[in-house]
Amino acid sequence: MSPAAEILVIILSIFLAFFLVLGTVLIIYLINLTRQIRKVASSAERTVYNFESIMENITKLTSPILLAGIITKFVKKIKKNKGDK
């Protein structure tokens, strides 16, 4: 083997080792990133669930209040009409 070919093999081996280490480090960072994304998604899901629960409770509360308001207006109109006659 000629000296030029040996130098080329050494240079290529160094680049191969460098990119192998770089690829390994990038894979580790990607794994950590996916874990963080999973945590954020879980947190967002819990937040949406809690918001839905709050809205459901508000809806349950406002429905009777709204109904009571409508009945009160109706009763006031009836009393007003009876008072006018």
Q: With bands split at pLDDT 50, 70 and 90, how would you rate the model's confidence at 85?
A: low
DSSP 3-state of 21: helix
Each domain of the chain, given as residue ranges in start order, spans: 1-85
- Structure confidence by residue, pLDDT tens digits, 15-52: 999 999 999 999 999 999 999 999 999 999 999 999 88
pLDDT recorded at residue 84: 64
Distance CA 14, CA 5 (A): 14
Distance CA 50, CA 46 (A): 6
Distance CA 59, CA 8 (A): 74
Distance CA 66, CA 76 (A): 15
- Which pTM does this prediction carry? 0.56
Choose between 35 and 70: higher pLDDT.
Answer: 35
